[in-house]
Amino acid sequence: TGVVPVFSATLQRGGPESFARAAQAVAGAGVVVLCAVSALGIALAPWIVTVMAPGWRADATLFALAVT
């Protein structure tokens, strides 16, 4: 909801080309952030599972299944 006024103003001031550039920049930044968060989730999966479900650490098979 926060980007709608910005996109509307960009479209009115700069025209369709400016709007397209802004939309591409926002989409590109979103993809980069999503990839970074996903990579962190994968790298920190053992810690996250240990914090969220501490009992799973005792069962090696269940823990390995959760983090892979």
Tell me the average pLDDT across 37-61.
94
How confident is the model at residue 68, as a pLDDT? 87
Range of the domain at 46: 3-67
Provide the pLDDT confidence category of residue 14 given band limits of 50, 70 and 90. very high
Residue 9: what pLDDT?
Answer: 93
For position 29, what pLDDT does the model report?
Answer: 97
Q: How many domains does the chain have?
A: 1
Q: CB-based burial of residue 11 (10 Å sphere; 0-12 exposed, 13-18 middle, 19+ buried)?
A: middle
